[in-house]
Chains A and B, each alone.
Chain A
Amino acid sequence: AQKVTQAQTEISVVEKEDVTLDCVYETRDTTYYLFWYKQPPSGELVFLIRRNSFDEQNEISGRYSWNFQKSTSSFNFTITASQVVDSAVYFCALIVDSNYQLIWGAGTKLIIKP
């Protein structure tokens, strides 16, 4: 069975601080894809990144970076120099090659205070 765990229910930091959102996944499949989505108060899901299981390279996109480590089954997301506009709920998700369903984490609510 597959599972995604986001242990941090809510994180609150002051603007300009760096913050890391944790994501731990479970699967026995060797081919899978990991995702991060942002859900602002409006509700619309914003796609942030997709990473396949064969690509362990870390990725940086502006203030966002992702650390994928198969050894610990983790796909953590870091926001550098956080801004108030980063406030949202962030979801980590998993799809395995043998099943079309997205497996969602519970989400982490990120609050950036001015």
Chain B
Amino acid sequence: GAVVSQHPSRVICKSGTSVKIECRSLDFQATTMFWYRQFPKQSLMLMATSNEGSKATYEQGVEKDKFLINHASLTLSTLTVTSAHPEDSSFYICSAEPLGGGTDTQYFGPGTRLTVL
């Protein structure tokens, strides 16, 4: 149980295009989903927290107009990188907190590797 999927797992796009990444909790409902970014050889950096039906909370330094987050249901959150540029190339990981699971419980997706040419 407690599986989180991400789609796509890998994407290569041209500079200036927008890319949408989906994060789904497959066998549970998620109150909260988190989006992380990881640069090579670095730790995970929290980008934003999204709660179903409300606006996402972005961490300091993360452009909300650049990284659009939508949490339309208790099992799906999407991250859209708008007008992507090479510096947006990174590994994006989502995690989901189960409904009633408490803040100490997060299940991670397998990650999406974005390469912007």
Question: Residues on A close to B: CB < 8 A?
Answer: 33, 37, 42-45, 47, 50, 52, 91, 95, 97, 99-102, 104-107, 109
Query: From DSSP, what is the main secondary structure of chain B's interface residues?
Result: strand
Which one, B22-30, B61-69, B75-83, B108-116, is touching chain A? B108-116
Contact present for B111 and A44 (CB under 8 Å): yes
The verdict on A106 contacting B91 (CB below 8 Å), with A43-B111, A50-B104, A100-B32 known, is no
Report the interface size class on chain B: 20 to 34
Cβ-defined partner of B43 (8 Å) among A44, A91, A100, A101: A91
Query: From DSSP, what is the main secondary structure of chain A's interface residues?
Result: strand
Contact present for A45 and B108 (CB under 8 Å): yes
Q: How far is the CA of A44 from the CA of B6 in the complex (A)?
A: 11
Q: How far is the CA of A43 from the CA of B110 in the complex (A)?
A: 7
